[in-house]
Structure 1
Amino acid sequence: MCFMEALRSQPKLEGLDCLSVYYAGLAVLGIGLLFVISSFLALGFIGTFLGDYFGILKEEKVTSFPFNVMDNPMYWGSTACYLGWSIMHVSPAGILLTAVVAVSYMIAILYEGPFTEEIYQQKQKATKNK
């Protein structure tokens, strides 16, 4: 809600306010939604919001689409959604906020990526030892 308010209340790049830029933003938004929704469907509710941190793991690490296309598709898909909205609204403030989101996600990935790898390696070792 705050992001959308920033898009509406801040100045626009009037020179870029045209239909082709709007459709480009819509395409970026669509790609972002594809990655976010497909990540959610692959992980499920618990895998998306709670699983790894509470020890509720999948049988094995998810490697199907969209995880076979990129690492952290939910983070990058979400970032693409912010960028798409910013482009659609030709909002420099939105693009700046998208950069803040991207940096925040990059920091999260630095911690979450190795954590996820480690817990699935531990699970795999435990399964082999049984």
Structure 2
Amino acid sequence: MGPVLAVGGCREARAWSLQGGPRPMGPGRAGPMRSSVAAPDCCGGLGNLDFRKADLCVMTRLLGYVDPSEPHFVAAVLTIAFNPLFWNVVARWEHKTRKLSGAFGSPHLACCTLGGAILLLNVLRSHCFTQAMLSQPRMQSLDNPLAYGMGLALLGVGGVFVLSSFLALGFTGTFLGDYFGILKETRVTTFPFSVLDNPMYWGSTANYLGWAIMHASPAGLLLTTVVALTYTVAILYEEPFTAEIYRQKASQAHKRS
């Protein structure tokens, strides 16, 4: 008997036994009348329930394959969380102080330097991500040609979004040029921005998801979840600030006119 039916049966048996159990007697009776039917020992007690057959959520199943304390996994989580924190803190500091532009002699050179640092950090993040997958068990249900093909397709789609975003924005547009005062005249609305907001972030997430599926890696799937959550927080943090930068630009242009 499956666990759901077993638990349901126990509930019904318990309700029946409470109704058919000892009842107080009315006046003049010599003693309590006892039910002649004993309550059944449903399912042999809770000890006989097979909890291993219970349906578990996907995340719980993945956690069964992953050791979160493994050093490579910890390093991957730290690099995933650190990268957006680094570029947001540095870019906002630059927007407030213009220290980097002053140190490098121009905002373009300062922005390119930050972009180079971000690229190196992303290489480190991808390396840690891969090492974390290789150090943890594979999931047999994902270790097949169909899953590998799906992962490869996700990797391709993610690559298209990332590359097309870069081409649409340019280097400084990709790497926070607006925080350095390098502003675009108009909002970019060409592909992939015409079909998806923040396509570079979600393209990167698709890359990691595809890479994890290709490796049949539960650790990779969990780390991809961390990537998605980190990007979600970054978007909530970045978008209002960027919108304010362009609002100030529009306000200044209006005053000059």
Aligned counterpart in structure 1 of residue 149 of structure 2, from 20, 23, 26: 23
CA shift at 1:114, angstroms?
A: 1.2
What is residue 118 of structure 1 aligned with on the other side?
244
Q: Name the SS for the 1:46 alignment partner.
A: helix
Aligned-CA RMSD value: 1.2
Identity score, percent = 65
What is residue 218 of structure 2 aligned with on the other side?
92
Q: Between the two structures, name the one with larger relative contact order (CA 8 Å, sep ≥ 6).
A: 1
CA shift at 1:34, angstroms?
A: 0.7
Moved more, 39-48 or 119-128: 119-128
What is residue 175 of structure 2 aligned with on the other side?
49
Kept in 1: contact 2:142–2:213 (CA 8 A): no
TM-score when scaled to structure 2?
0.49
Specify which structure has the higher proportion of helix.
1
User: Separation in 1 of the partners of 2:169 and 2:128?
Assistant: 28
TM-score when scaled to structure 1?
0.93
User: Separation in 2 of the partners of 1:119 and 1:63?
Assistant: 18
Aligned counterpart in structure 2 of residue 78 of structure 1, from 195, 198, 204: 204
Kept in 2: contact 1:60–1:120 (CA 8 A): no
What is residue 129 of structure 2 aligned with on the other side?
3
CA shift at 1:16, angstroms?
A: 2.0
User: Separation in 1 of the partners of 2:137 and 2:220?
Assistant: 10
CA shift at 1:93, angstroms?
A: 0.2
Alpha-carbon displacement from aligned partner over 1:96-129 (angstroms, at most 9, x marks no partner): 0011111111110001111222222222333333
User: Separation in 1 of the partners of 2:242 and 2:176?
Assistant: 12
- Equivalences, count: 130
CA shift at 1:29, angstroms?
A: 0.8
Moved over 4 A (4+): none
